[in-house]
Amino acid sequence: MDINLIYMILGVIATVLVGYWGIKYTANHKAITNLLFFENGCISLFKTVVKDLAEVEIKYKGKKIDENLLIYKGTFFNSGNTDIDKSIIHQPLKVTLPENFEWKKVIIIDQSKDVNIILDYNESEATFNWDILKENEYFTFDSVIEYKPQPNTDKSKDTVILDITRHLTRRIKFSHRITNLKSVEKEDLPTKPASRFEFAFLVIYLLGFVCLGLYLSAGQFIYPNYNVAYEVKMDTTEIYSSIEAQNKNEIKLLDDEESEVIRRIDASNEIGLTGKLKTVKKDLSYWGLIGGGLLASLTLFVFILMVYSHFKDKALYKKVKLIADKYDDKTFTRAKSSRILFPFD
C-alpha cells in the first residue's frame, strides 16, 4: 500500500476524532445557566452529640432533643457563565423536604457581597429568591429539621427509616422556573481539576497530534522525500528511471512522472543500466497537505479550548472549595483519570 495513502487514512481518522471532540467540547462550554448545590453537612443531633453521653441533655426551644432532630446545611453556587437575575426567574428556587420531615428553622448564614437573599419557608418547603446571582456568587443556609414518622396503620408495610440523614440527603428535591436552567446540579463536593501531571500529559498528547498534522502537511516542504533514479539506455535514448521489484523475477521501471516505462522478466539482463544515479524529489502529497492541515488546525483549536477550560475550572474549583472549607472538612473528589487522559471516551 502507498505510504501516502496510509498517511491520508490516518489523518482523516484522527481529524474526524479530534473534530468530534472539538464540537462536543465547544457545545459543553457555550453560554450556560447552571446552579450547583452541595451539602456542607447533614447530622443527627442525638446520634452525634447525646447518644453516647447519657448524662448530657440538650434542649431546642425548651424541648429535649431526641433522635429525630437534624442539622442540615447547604450552599447554592452559580457555576454557570451567565448571571441569574429576576428577569429570567418566573418561579423562585424551592427546596422541598421528603415526606415526614419538617423545617423548624432556616437561616442564611453566608452569601457573596451585595447578594440579597429573600428567604421564606413553611414546614415542607423553603423558598429562596434574589434580584441577581452573578457568576461565581453563592449563598449558604443552615437549618433545623425534624423527622416525624407517622404511625403505621398497615402492618404489612415497613415504613421504618433506619438512617434518616441518608434518607433526607437522597430524597430532598429542588424545583424552579428559571429560563435555561434545566435542573440544579447536586453534588457532595465539586470535582477537582486535573493535576499538573495529568494536565501536562494531555498537553503532550494533543501537541503530538498537532506535530503529526504539521509533518504530514508543511513537513513536505521542509523535509521532502526523494527517490533514487538510475540512468537507463533504451535503444539510442537515455532516461533516468526508478526501479521497483514486482516479484522475484520481475522489475518495473518508472520515469520522472512515475509512469510505467517497461516491465521485463530478468530485466536487469536486458536493459541498459549505465550505472549513473541521481536523486529525484517526490511530488507533494495533496492528501497529506489537506488531511495534515485539517488535523493540525482542529487539534490546535481543541488544545486552546482545553487550556482555557482547565484554568477556568481550576479557578472555579478554588472558589467553591474556599466556601466549602468554611463549614466542613470533606475531601474534594478528583475527576477520573481515564476521562482526563483519554478525552474521546
Residue 32 pLDDT grade (very low, low, confident, very high; cuts 50, 70, 90):
confident
Residue 61 pLDDT grade (very low, low, confident, very high; cuts 50, 70, 90):
low
Cell readout for 243 is: 526501479
Rounded to an integer, what distance in angstroms lies between the CA atom of residue 328 and that of residue 235? Answer: 93
Average pLDDT of span 98-123: 92
* Amino acid 345: pLDDT: 38
* Amino acid 337: pLDDT: 37
Average pLDDT, the chain: 75
Phi, psi of 150 (to 5 degrees): -85, 145
* Amino acid 131: pLDDT: 92
* Amino acid 143: pLDDT: 93
The DSSP bridge partners found for residue 227 are: 280
- Please indicate whether residue 275 or residue 345 has the higher confidence score (pLDDT): 275
The DSSP bridge partners found for residue 177 are: 91
When mean pLDDT is compared over 89-103, 251-265, 303-317, 321-335, the highest value belongs to: 89-103
Cell readout for 184 is: 440544579
Q: Give 296-301's long-range contacts (Cβ < 8 A, gap of 24+).
A: 296/209, 296/210, 296/212, 296/213, 296/214, 296/217, 297/213, 298/15, 298/18, 298/19, 298/22, 299/14, 299/18, 299/206, 299/209, 299/210, 299/213, 300/210, 301/22
Rounded to an integer, what distance in angstroms lies between the CA atom of residue 317 and that of residue 314? Answer: 5
Q: Is 148 in contact with 123 (CB distance < 8 Å)?
A: no
Residues ≥6 apart with Cβ < 8 Å to 82: 31, 32, 33, 135, 180
pLDDT tens, position by position, 207-239: 887 887 777 777 777 777 777 777 777 667 777
Residues ≥6 apart with Cβ < 8 Å to 201: 341
Run of H or E residues at 334? none
Domain boundaries, the chain: 16-28+194-212+287-341, 35-179, 226-281
State the sign of the Cα–Cα–Cα–Cα dihedral 108, 111, 114, 117: negative
pLDDT tens, position by position, 150-187: 766 555 454 556 688 888 988 999 999 998 888 888 86
Helix boundaries (H) for the chain:
3-28, 45, 164-171, 196-216, 219-222, 286-324, 337-341
* Amino acid 216: pLDDT: 74
Q: Is 7 in contact with 288 (CB distance < 8 Å)?
A: yes
Cell readout for 51 is: 447518644
pTM of structure: 0.58
Residues ≥6 apart with Cβ < 8 Å to 259: none
pLDDT tens, position by position, 262-316: 555 454 455 666 767 777 777 777 767 777 777 777 778 878 878 877 887 787 7
- Please indicate whether residue 344 or residue 189 has the higher confidence score (pLDDT): 189
3-state secondary structure 32-74: CCCEEEEEEEEEEHHHHHHCCCCCCCCEECCEECCCCEEEEEE
Q: Where are the beta strands (DSSP E) in 101-219?
A: 101-111, 117-121, 125-130, 132-133, 138-147, 173-178, 184-187
- CB neighbours of residue 63 within 10 Å: 8
- Please indicate whether residue 212 or residue 53 has the higher confidence score (pLDDT): 212
